[in-house]
Structure 1
Amino acid sequence: MSNNAKLKSLFRSGRTTIAMGAYDPLSARLVERAGYDLVYLGGYAAAAAMLGLPDLGMMTATEVADHIRRVRAVTTVPILVDADNGHGSALNTARTIAEFLAAGASGVHMEDQVLPKKCGHMGGKRLVPVRDMISKIRAAREAGGEEFALIARTDAIAIDGTDAAIERAARYAEAGADALFLDAPESMAHVEQIGRDLGPLGVPLVFNAASTGKTPTLAVKEIEALGFNVILYPIEAMLAALAGARLVMDTLKVEGSLEGIRDRMASFADMQDLLGVAKMEALDERFPTS
């Protein structure tokens, strides 16, 4: 089974799929090694890791495609990618999906914001008309094919309210979305309403479990019980890595030694193992050069 078919199968299975966020090829290796079914490449993490910039729509589609290729080269599981708003019109969206598919993505989520887009948990977002988003969904489906997983995201909760967001999402499901993602519900009442009103459609629902956002923090079992079965953890690994790097730098500057925190750092052997050094050395021995 291809990775694209695997991802679609996960969505249809009815069981919970955790989309653990990676921000570079090394962290993607960690995600796969930890036993997750897919690697998630979110826009916030990608912009931070690749550009050192906030998630404000400044990455180009080709930059993201290059990011996908590097991750695809070191992982074997499906890759789910944040496609922002398709990077433009329906025509741009068709090219974006074709580029992401060629780079190794097995699916995307795509939102109904205008350019310049913003992270879903930031203020000041603006929406495209529903008909424009439907055109993008149809263009994405044609470009990606039936096996390519297409999640339609709406940011309407923050702008027009939960009822309007649910209405938009239902229209996106009719247009051919494989799953629905209503970002940034700000209360348990909103979360419960999404599961209650959209559950009867029989389309998988996506929950953004980002620990830094506006949505209530819930455990996996609680999220499942509310009717969601695709759960994103977009930047949690990156936040942990940031804290760890800061600890090393601050400790060395203050104490002049890292001996007090060695047990909180990975070993060089761990890194060598994760990078597959032994496999590369064996390959080098098979094909010696003078």
Structure 2
Amino acid sequence: MAQDHIETLRQLLAQKRGVLMPGAANALTARIIADLGFEALYLTGAGLTNMHLGLPDLGFVDLSQLVDYTMAIRNVVSLPLVVDADTGFGNALNVGRTITMLERAGASAIQIEDQVAPKRCGHFDGQELIPSAEMIGKVKAAVDARRDGVLIVARTDACAAEGFEAAIDRMHGYIEAGADIAFVEAPKTAEQLRKIPQLLPVPQMLNMVVGGKTPITDRTIAADMGFNLVLYANVALQGAIKGMQTALTELRDHGALDEASGLTATFAERQRLVDKPRFDALSSRYAIAQGA
């Protein structure tokens, strides 16, 4: 598999302009993100758990499921893809296998975090962390396991569990172990946001959770602070939930729904987004001639 998407991500990071990175929970969402002109996307573990299992973000997805969805997304978009691998599905040895599998599936960068398994969403309460030394071992295993240059994102949830200074201290250790991108989850103030890029020497990812603990910050301001990627991991999912509730409520209350309502995408738009015209052309190309 060509690895151009990894080099493209490296170039985006080097530009230091707060690239907006929406999250996708499935391949259709990934297609929409690409179609709208975004430059990178994120396979969200929380969104995957919510959308496909109907469960909260409490560590219910396994590696095989994550690999399958990474492959599905990579099959339909060429954008840089950052994959949320939670705690890496075990110890350092397991992390090595996780990196190998996800790199082969088409990840451009793979994120691992320092929570105790099973993890919980960084904007929930009650996070527990593994020792910093254990996470450093996981980062080293991730770096050693990669073969095609996939980037390693180290996330710490220490802001919630141990405080901001502890989060910075932990992240320094992860960077020394080889992490390419730093992800300090759930800082609570604008002052903390400003400090993170000043204190850490590698590219930074900022997570904007609609309704979460971190103050929503415009991407231009985030870029001026020094953040390279501005993640909206589940804005598409939350928008889809609102859209489904609105359309289905209309159907329930009125007994019918058509395109004139404006509450759904058109049938034609749906087919365009899944690339049906290309498959129609291929069907015509490979059709058996009459009488053959």
TM-score bracket, shorter-length normalisation:
over 0.9
Matches within 5 A, 1:141-156: 141-145=143-147, 147-156=149-158
Deviates more, 1:216-225 or 1:21-30: 216-225
Letter of the structure 1 residue corresponding to residue 188 of structure 2: E
Residue 152 of structure 2: SS of its match in structure 1? strand
8 A contact 1:15–1:229 mirrored in 2? yes
Runs of 4+ with >3 A deviation: none
Q: Which residue number in structure 2 is paired with residue 121 of structure 1?
A: 123
**TM-score with structure 1 length normalisation?**
0.94
Q: Which residue number in structure 2 is paired with residue 219 of structure 1?
A: 218
1:196 CA drift (Å): 3.1
Q: Does 1:34 align with 2:36?
A: yes
Residue 20 of structure 1: SS of its match in structure 2? strand
Letter of the structure 2 residue corresponding to residue 165 of structure 1: A
Q: Which residue number in structure 2 is paired with residue 88 of structure 1?
A: 90
Q: Does 1:50 align with 2:52?
A: yes
Q: Which residue number in structure 2 is paired with residue 267 of structure 1?
A: 266
1:146 CA drift (Å): 6.3
Residue 262 of structure 2: SS of its match in structure 1? helix
Q: Which residue number in structure 2 is paired with residue 229 of structure 1?
A: 228
Q: Is the alpha carbon distance of 1:252 and 1:270 closer, same or farther for their aligned partners in structure 2, counting shifts above 3 Å? A: same
Structure 2: give runs of 5+ residues left out of the alignment: none
1:8 CA drift (Å): 2.3
8 A contact 1:206–1:232 mirrored in 2? yes
Letter of the structure 2 residue corresponding to residue 29 of structure 1: R
RMSD of the TM alignment (CA)?
Answer: 1.6
Matches within 5 A, 1:1-290: 2-145=4-147, 147-198=149-200, 201=201, 203-258=202-257, 262-289=261-288
Distance 2:101 2:192 in 1: 35
Count how many residue pairs are aligned between Structure 1 and Structure 2: 287
Distance 1:116 1:132 in 2: 16
8 A contact 1:154–1:183 mirrored in 2? yes
1:159 CA drift (Å): 1.2
Deviations 1:24-51 (A, max 9, x none): 1111100111111222101100111221
Letter of the structure 2 residue corresponding to residue 41 of structure 1: L
Q: Is the alpha carbon distance of 1:14 and 1:193 closer, same or farther for their aligned partners in structure 2, counting shifts above 3 Å? A: closer
Distance 1:188 1:77 in 2: 30
Distance 2:135 2:81 in 1: 23
Distance 1:65 1:212 in 2: 29
1:232 CA drift (Å): 0.5
1:164 CA drift (Å): 0.7
Distance 1:110 1:261 in 2: 45
Distance 2:15 2:82 in 1: 17
8 A contact 2:88–2:94 mirrored in 1? yes
Distance 2:26 2:280 in 1: 23
8 A contact 1:179–1:206 mirrored in 2? yes
**TM-score with structure 2 length normalisation?**
0.94
Distance 2:56 2:31 in 1: 24
8 A contact 1:8–1:148 mirrored in 2? no
1:76 CA drift (Å): 1.6
Deviations 1:44-70 (A, max 9, x none): 001112211111111111110011111
Deviates more, 1:2-11 or 1:206-215: 2-11
Structure 1: give runs of 5+ residues left out of the alignment: none
Distance 2:18 2:24 in 1: 19
8 A contact 1:8–1:147 mirrored in 2? no
8 A contact 2:17–2:227 mirrored in 1? no
1:256 CA drift (Å): 2.4
